[in-house]
Amino acid sequence: MQALLNTAIKAARKGGDTALRYLNRVADIEVRSKARNEFVTQVDHAAEAAIIDSIRERYPGHGFLAEESGRHAGDECVWIIDPLDGTTNFLHGFPVFSVSIALKVRDQLQVAVVYDPCRQELFTAMRGSGAQLDGRRVRVSARPGLDGALIGTGFPYRSNVEWLPQYMEMLRAVMETTAGVRRPGSAALDLCYVAAGRLDGFWEFGLSVWDIAAGALLIQEAGGIISSLTPGEDPLQTGNVLAGAPKVHDALKSLFMPML
């Protein structure tokens, strides 16, 4: 398993370095709109190609599910990749974005890496071995409830905009009961911040599997909980995510229940 993690780390650093090379000339980057408020650039594609090539070199038989190039058939090992999570931030030179790589073997996530190239922070996890930030063990916060909690979120702003009425009610309730709300703009990194105890909880509607997969394993390995906000047990399938330290997760769940 360690060899798989090492491969993922090497690939994530390559993806992150690709993004950094373009960061000082974002004005010249070619941007295409995939859908409302959904942008893709040559950087997303270049980073994804660098990541896939790097993993393939070591594991030629593995499959991939990557945001920009979709499915690549392979054996029972499938790498789930978001080469640039936070493209909108990146396009504005707003330095919060990440590379997210997870390995699923049959139906289980086994390895997770999220790399923040701006801070050069590396979040890693292997099933059963805990979660690490730059090689040091991290855990979710010990906060006993919403009082004093710092909560991360993502706004509904594109295909998930249908959730806006419920979301505004939820936001208001969280603002009224916690110490504050943050919307950094890279869901993969938000989940890592929950794993590392920097955020006590997080919620967002309409995420994709490549936004969530690595962060989900990191949170579980850090002692936290990730669940679906909406019926359907697997947040990786519904994309509607509630995560947090156990007591904060449960308190948010109760708070949101009447609004859903």
- Residues 83-142 touching ligand IPD, rule: CB under 6 A, are 85-88
- 185 in contact with ligand IPD (CB under 6 A): yes
The residue from 16, 50, 51, 85 that contacts Ca ion (CB under 5 A) is 85
The partner in contact with residue 186, picked from ligand IPD, Ca ion, none with C-beta cut-offs of 5 to 8 angstroms by kind, is ligand IPD
- Count of CB atoms situated within 10 Å of the CB of 145: 15
Residue 4 to residue 131: CA distance in whole angstroms = 15
Give the binding range for ligand IPD (CB under 6 A) out of 9-17, 48-56, 79-87, 230-238. 79-87
Residue of this chain nearest to ligand IPD (CB atom): 154
- 81 in contact with ligand IPD (CB under 6 A): no
CB closer to ligand IPD out of 69 and 88? 88
Q: Shortest approach of ligand IPD to residue 190 CB, angstroms?
A: 7
Tokens of 192: 């890592």
- 240 in contact with ligand IPD (CB under 6 A): no
The partner in contact with residue 215, picked from ligand IPD, Ca ion, none with C-beta cut-offs of 5 to 8 angstroms by kind, is none
CB closer to Ca ion out of 51 and 149? 51
92, 70, 95: which is closest to 80 by C-alpha? 70
Which parts of this chain interact with ligand IPD (CB under 6 A)? 82, 85-88, 154, 185-187, 204, 207, 211
